[in-house]
Structure 1
Amino acid sequence: MEKYHIKLTEEETELLSKIDLRSHHSNHEEGHAAYLGNREPILALLTSLSARRAVPEVRLSYWNDPNYRSGRIKGSRKGLFERNGCTGADIYTHPHFLVHLRYFLFGSELPDDVIKAFEAKVGNPEWVSSSDIVPIGNAARDLTRRYGLDIADAPEEFFKLCLDMGLGLSTAESVMRSVKQVR
């Protein structure tokens, strides 16, 4: 949904057109060629976005703040790259960074109909209270089932959507936990 896309300059749009944003390739050679071709444009795009502070603060927190990540291993998403020996510019050109780059640029990777239905259920995020968390989580879980979303990815994508909508971190975590219960 373009509502959550960040506005790019002409130069940034041109750089983006040179980036292969796919996470999976049909073979190793194709993947390696994409990795080599992505290095320069990714770094140039991120430099431009950073210079004009175009990436929303909540998305940067998602990347940098350990509180925005749950899991067995503690640390931020960026910290996990560093923990695995990937540092500096290599983090941003690593193929596993592409999922984060897509989030920086486009927001959650949920179908538009799911986003619209979830937004309708939430209403004005400023009015959401703790008593709304269970019904909002149930709605996200129901949408996951109704649209046949991948249960491995849906919890994280709803978490991202909640953050982008302006819901608090604890609400976003509750929604994510609710979606994880889908069987």
Structure 2
Amino acid sequence: MIQPDFALTPEEQKLLAEIKFKVSEFSGYKDAQRNGKTVNALVKSLLKRKAIPAIRVKWFTDPELNPGGRGKSRKDIFDCNGSSGDEMLEHPSFLEFLFRFLCGPDLPKVAITTFRAAVVGYGKVTSGDIDGLRKTARSLTRQYQLNAHSAADDFYLLALECGVWHSYAESIRETVRSVR
């Protein structure tokens, strides 16, 4: 089961336990609809009490934090595809964003800890520190044999969560994307 990195209310825990995060687990259309309604209820509860870390919400809603989004946020892309509001929250494609709202970057725990320690080691990250952080992210991607494309976006989110300026985080993302 998914383990959020912040506290849920008992009702939210119950909702989370009912959610299937893999579309392949759905047993049909009605199951997908039920799952979507449960996701909707959970997200609304989390947003109402402002439980989701602010940077994760901003990562989803701010066009500036969506490299390669051509001026659109991740939320805007749902809107452009005809899914907004409840439809967006209930769409199976929203599950990957729900995971990141709850747990943050989808990386091995040891990779997250190692990268966070590297950022802390630099103190306030400046342009002179980025090369070291890019090397750390690249090395972790190789060490844990991560898919470079998806790991790039997760290291980007991780860098943002660590307080790294978005342009520097984008540089880290591009470095990880180039891993072969």
Instruction: Decide: shared fold, TM above 0.5.
Output: yes
- Alpha-carbon separation, structure 1, partners of 2:121 and 2:8: 27
For 2:10, the equivalent position in structure 1 comes to 10
Tell whether 2:27 aligns with 1:30.
yes
- Alpha-carbon separation, structure 2, partners of 1:126 and 1:8: 31
**For residues 31 and 60 of structure 1, do their structure 2 counterparts lie closer, same or farther at Cα, with a shift above 3 Å needed?**
farther
Structure 1 letter corresponding to 2:50: R
Superposed counterparts of 1:1-183, under 5 Å: 5-22=5-22, 24-25=23-24, 30=27, 32-71=29-68, 73-124=70-121, 126-183=123-180
Identity %, equivalent residues: 36
Q: Which runs of 5+ in 1 are unaligned?
A: none
- Alpha-carbon separation, structure 2, partners of 1:180 and 1:120: 22
- Alpha-carbon separation, structure 2, partners of 1:78 and 1:31: 26
Per-residue CA distance 1:22-75 (angstroms, 9 max, x = gap): 2x416xx63534422212211211121111111111111111110011226430
TM-score by length of 1: 0.89
Structure 2 letter corresponding to 1:74: G
Partner secondary structure for residue 58 of structure 1: helix
**Contact 2:60–2:74 (8 Å) recurs in 1:** yes
Count of residue correspondences? 179
What value does the CA root-mean-square deviation take over the aligned residues?
2.0
